[in-house]
A and B are shown apart, each in its own frame.
Chain A
Amino acid sequence: AQKVTQAQTEISVVEKEDVTLDCVYETRDTTYYLFWYKQPPSGELVFLIRRNSFDEQNEISGRYSWNFQKSTSSFNFTITASQVVDSAVYFCALSEANSGYSTLTFGKGTMLLVSP
């Protein structure tokens, strides 16, 4: 069975601080995809990034960056110079084959609170 662990339940930072959200996964599959989603207070999950198991290059998008390390089964997410609008719950997820179809296994989420 696959598993995604987000050990940090809640993180509080002050605006402009850098913050890293951890994600550790377990899978026996050799081909898999990892995702990060953001859930602002409005409730809708917003897709942020997808990474496949063969691409370990780090990715940067503006203030967001992702560090994928297969050796430690981790896919961590860093926000540089955090802003109040970054306050949200962030979910890491792993795709798996389920009855021949693709489903996602989600971590329990990390709530990020950014105060002014």
Chain B
Amino acid sequence: DVKVTQSSRYLVKRTGEKVFLECVQDMDHENMFWYRQDPGLGLRLIYFSYDVKMKEKGDIPEGYSVSREKKERFSLILESASTNQTSMYLCASSSETGGLMETQYFGPGTRLLVL
């Protein structure tokens, strides 16, 4: 079974703090994704990565950066957290082999509250 884990289920941070959200997958997947989920807005793609040290912006990259130093790990960084970044953050991974048909597998999510 594919396993995607996220470092924290719940996180409380203060405005202006630098925040790291970690995601690890154990299926040797090439692709990894970060989404945020907000009520009424569904899932929106922040960044994705298709290889080590490679990254692409998604639909809402502003205020975020990412890091992928190892294939299994994809980090989302909030350089200076703001209250409007309070959200549920979901990490996913997929293989590149099948292209459009590849299924994304999700982690349990991190609920981030920025005070």
Contact = CB atoms under 8 A, between A and B. Distances in A.
B74 interface: no
A17 B47 CA distance: 40
B75 interface: no
Nearest to B49: A101
Interface string A9-42: 1000000000000000000000111010100001
B100 interface: yes
Q: Is the interface of A mostly helix, strand, loop or mixed?
A: strand
Given A101-B50, A109-B42, A45 B106 contact: yes
Nearest to B50: A101
Interface residues of B, number: 30
A95 B103 CA distance: 9
B101 A50 contact: yes
Interface in A32-75: 32-33, 35, 37, 42-47, 50, 52
B93 to A, nearest CB: 12
A106 interface: yes
Nearest to B38: A108
Interface residues of A, number: 28
Given A35-B103, A43-B108, A103 B42 contact: no
Interface in A90-113: 91, 95-99, 101-104, 106-109
Interface of B: 9, 31, 33, 40-45, 48, 50, 56, 58, 88, 90, 92, 94, 96, 99-109, 111
Interface of A: 9, 31-33, 35, 37, 42-47, 50, 52, 91, 95-99, 101-104, 106-109
25 contacts: A33-B100, A42-B108, A43-B9, A43-B111, A44-B107, A44-B108, A44-B109, A45-B92, A46-B106, A47-B104, A91-B42, A95-B101, A96-B100, A97-B99, A98-B48, A98-B58, A102-B31, A102-B96, A102-B99, A103-B33, A103-B48, A103-B58, A104-B45, A106-B44, A107-B42
